[in-house]
Amino acid sequence: MRSSYFHTKGWIFIAILLFGIGIVFGLTAPTGITSLLDEDIATLEELGDLLASLPLALIALFIFIKNASVLLLSFALSPIFCLVPILALTVNGWVIAFVSATIIQEESLGYLLAGLLPHGIFELPAFILGEAAALSFGTMAIVALFRKERRSLLLPNLKQNLRYLMIALALLLPAAIIETYVTPLLLA
């Protein structure tokens, strides 16, 4: 017996909603918050400089592993009150909106779209799908912990969500390749 409440498809809407909440926070963040991010931005720029010296294939592999590890960690830790998937969705939405607003001010909307759209077509659905699977599994694990009659649903839920997670991971591969090989050409 499967409960439709725990199907991943319903969780996609929740994942999009949480991501959207993060975007709203990112767009409405006070300008003074940028000083809090200056150190993080400097660290990311140093990492970017280090990566630029590597062969493109290694850069693509690094991007894929970084993105895949975020999804895998989120899925694995989701039974802890779904905190990691919730944070991943809202924080990523916040960062994307905040950085996007800055790029639009400093460059242009076209520059932003050229930098995000080509790989984002794969990466954003992968992220939403992977986090929806994490939310579904995490919620089912929590419910199964407290409701004995629901424990028989945990394994089918895990199997179903692992399939969605694998689809998400597969989508991250073309995203990493496009981000490495195509995006820099469009931004040049």
Q: Would the pLDDT of 5 be above 90?
A: no
Q: How far apart are CA 55 and CA 17, in angstroms?
A: 38
Least trusted range by pLDDT, from 36-40, 157-161, 178-182: 36-40
Higher pLDDT, 49 or 90: 90
Largest Cα–Cα distance of the chain, in whole Å? 58
Pair of tokens at residue 126:
């992968």
Of 67, 89, 93, 91, nearest in space to 78 by CA: 89
Q: Which of 125, 138, 135, 137 is nearest to 169 (CA)?
A: 125
Could you give the CA distance from residue 37 to residue 7 in angstroms, rounded to a whole number? 37
What is the average pLDDT score of the chain? 89
Other C-beta atoms closer than 10 Å to the C-beta of 67 total 22
Residue 151 clears pLDDT 60, i.e. is over it: yes
CA gap 123, 170 in Å, rounded: 10
The mean-pLDDT minimum among 6-10, 128-132, 164-168 falls in 6-10
Q: How far apart are CA 130 and CA 16, in angstroms?
A: 11
pLDDT at position 37 is 61
Q: What is the pTM of this model?
A: 0.88
